[in-house]
Amino acid sequence: MSEITLYDLDLSPNNMKVRIAMNYKGIPFEKIVVDFMDRAIVVEASGQPLTPVIKHGDSVVYDSRAILRYLDANFRDTPPLFSADRARMQELESEESAARDNLGAAAGMVFQQALSESPDLGPCAEASQKINDATAAYEERLAQHEFLMGDQMTVVDVTAAPYVFYAMLPPDAGGPDNPLGQFFIDNFSLGDGRDKTREWAGKVMSYDR
């Protein structure tokens, strides 16, 4: 029996990071798929329309950042994403915010155009440059360690990888049946010199299932 119910919007990076976190920790969960255009089931569960949302017993938690903290606090026998050390915790939270602000903003610019009736490709080119610039430091870190903050996966990896994922979609992720994926393939790219970043993101995203 699943311990957690996840109200899930499959293509959302914020939902991805919660799925990654739970699979990495080995926490069983049941997915309830949310319709992009109809959020009634989420509102009924949590009082607000955004995903992801988890239900764990009598507890209901929304917002992906809050959910990751809830998982660490309530499943302490699983691999941690945060730290018991105060200085390390501050470092992780700072890097988590930077990934969300920089990478998340870049991916968000492309999502906005992909969902527009009249997309403007200018912001997409800007977003590609933005994510290439932001991941320059990742290449340096990943030359020394397996993950962004060392040799163990943390909240920083879980937060950053879903955004990077959208800048490295393989050709078979698009096509007529997946116009959103095709838009990202055509208009959002990590660029050259990001081999270590691609390898790292693939490793983290392998937990998204």
The answer to whether the beta carbons of residues 92 and 82 sit under 8 Å apart is yes
DSSP β-ladder status, 59-62 and 29-33: unpaired
What is the third-level CATH fold of 86-205? Answer: Glutathione S-transferase Yfyf (Class Pi); Chain A, domain 2 (1.20.1050)
Between the alpha carbon of residue 52 and those of residues 45, 109, 195, the distances in Å are: 11, 20, 30
Domain spanning 4-74: CATH 3.40.50.720: no
Q: Could you tell me the two tokens for 58?
A: 């009598």
pLDDT attached to residue 2:
61
Domain locations in the chain as residue ranges: 4-74, 86-205
DSSP assignment letter at 143: T
pLDDT attached to residue 3:
87
pLDDT attached to residue 111:
96
Q: Do domains 4-74 and 86-205 have the same CATH topology?
A: no
pLDDT digits (tens, 9 = 90+) for 125-184: 999 999 999 999 999 999 999 999 999 999 999 999 999 999 999 988 888 889 999 999
pLDDT digits (tens, 9 = 90+) for 52-102: 999 999 999 999 999 999 999 999 999 999 999 999 999 999 999 999 999
DSSP readout, 93-117? Answer: HHHHHHHHHHHHHHHHHHHHHHTSS
pLDDT digits (tens, 9 = 90+) for 14-44: 999 999 999 999 999 999 999 999 999 999 9
User: What three-state secondary structure class fits 62?
Assistant: strand
For the chain, give the percent of residues with pLDDT over 70: 99
